[in-house]
Amino acid sequence: MRRSAAIVLGPCAVGLVAAAIFVGAAAPVAAQVVPCRGLTPASGYKVLLDVLVFVSPEVGTDREMQALLDRLQNALHFKLEELRYLKGPVALEVLQCVGRKPKSDGDFDAGMVDALNTRGVVLEIWGSLDGRKEGARVRDRSAAMRYVVVPLRHYERGSPQLPGGYRARYVAASSGVDYLQLIEQAKDLDAYVAMGIGIKLLKSTEYDRAREYLCKADHLMRETWGEQPPAPEQQALVAYVTAAAREALKGSLGVNSAGNVRVVGDRPCPKASARP
């Protein structure tokens, strides 16, 4: 009887299926958050490099953008080399996600962030590039970048001080600096990656390694934003990283969080000058 009902409902189902296919076909051609090819649940940490766009078509073509992305993927691979061997080797790769273009942090809801986190993604990057064309040269190059620190967004979900999604704007000091150098020189990117790995290690109770990465993030953030960061979200990040590093230190000393660890003090990380 129920099967019969299913048969009767068959045309409705087919209609719904057709409607779904139609809706899919009618969706905008420029898809937004599509799956990142090559992103698997295999072990290791990943940085996802999504689509970058030229704000003005006169600044560059699609082909130039693809070439830039390929170069940037390689550049980031080498840029993050230090983080691979900070405290024993970690697997860290940069994946280029063709066609993936998030609109905003809103695309990273709890389900998406959970799925990314379980796949080892520590940072997702996208953005837009701008400039002013003067003859054959491009002047006033700038890059408006967006970052989502996946582990932070996952584990601190709902925290208004720690949204996990951040913006940065880099402006070329001279016309000799190209887009690749502009992004490659950004130290906050390294800080976000170090923080992401540090949080993942902390959650895996690998305290010694976690502290190393969190302290590296702390150091890079202070170097980039100063000892007293101007923006509230930067202040919240530094405070979070310091607290997480303290937790890692307590964990490695085998003291629970309620214990009084005098050796930790206010700064669980050595000062930059004391670092090797």
Partner 1 sequence: MESLETRLARVEGMMSATLARLGEEAGKAPTPAPAPPRKGVLDVVQAFGPIVSGLLVALVAYVLTGSVTQILEERRVELSFGQAMQPLLVKLRDSKADRIEAEATALTLAVAFGKDAALPLLSELQTGTEVSVPAAEKALQALGLNHREPTCDVLARAVGNRTRLFSWTTQRTAARLLADLDCQHAVPTLAAYRAFLVSLAAQPPERALEEYRQAVRDEPPVSIGTLAELRAAIDQALRLLDRQRATRPSG
Q: Tell me: does residue 8 bind partner 1 (CB under 8 A).
A: no
63, 89, 104, 111: residue in contact with partner 1 (rule CB under 8 A): 111
| Residue 270 within binding range of partner 1, rule CB under 8 A | no
Is the separation of the CB atoms in 149 and 192 below 8 Å? yes
Please report, for residues 27, 157, 232, the alpha-carbon distance to residue 245 in angstroms, rounded to integers and kept in the order given.
45, 19, 20
Residue position matching structure tokens 């109770």: 205
For the chain, how many helices (H) and strands (E)? 9, 5
CB atoms under 10 Å from CB of 156, counted, come to 17
- Phi, psi of 148, rounded to the nearest 5 degrees: -125, 115
Min separation Cβ 24 and partner 1, Å: 5
Q: Which residues pair with 147 in a beta bridge?
A: 125, 166
CB of 23 to partner 1, least distance (A): 6
Is 112 a binder of partner 1 (CB under 8 A)?
yes
Name which of residues 88 to 107 contact partner 1 (CB under 8 A): 99, 107
Map the footprint of partner 1 across residues 179-218, applying CB under 8 A: 200, 203-205
User: 240 CB contacts (<8 Å, ≥6 apart)?
Assistant: 152, 156, 162
Query: How many beta carbons lie within 10 A of that of residue 8, not counting itself?
Result: 9
The residue (of 107 and 233) whose beta carbon lies closer to partner 1 is: 107
Position among 93, 105, 114, 223 found at the interface with partner 1 (CB under 8 A): 114
Query: Do the bridges between strand 165-171 and strand 92-96 make them parallel or antiparallel, or are there none, so unpaired?
Result: unpaired
| Position 116 contacts partner 1 (CB under 8 A) | yes
Q: Which residue has the tokens 């230090």?
A: 82
Binder of partner 1 out of 69, 72, 92, 119 (CB under 8 A): 119
Q: Hey, is 194 helix, strand or coil?
A: helix
Which one-letter DSSP state was computed for residue 107?
G
Instruction: Report in angstroms how near the CB of residue 104 gets to partner 1 at its nearest.
Output: 12
Q: How far is the CB of 202 from partner 1 (least distance, A)?
A: 8
User: How many C-beta neighbours within 10 Å does residue 118 have?
Assistant: 11
Provide the minimum distance between the beta carbon of 15 and partner 1 in the complex, in angstroms, as a whole number.
9
Site for partner 1 in 29-48 (CB under 8 A): 31-37, 39, 41-43
Q: Which of residues 190 and 247 has its CB atom nearest to partner 1 in the complex?
A: 247
Which of 53, 65, 86, 115 lies at the binding interface for partner 1 (CB under 8 A)? Answer: 115
Q: Which residues bind partner 1 (CB under 8 A)?
A: 3, 6-7, 10, 12-14, 16-17, 19-21, 23-24, 27, 31-37, 39, 41-43, 99, 107, 109, 111-112, 114-116, 118-121, 200, 203-205
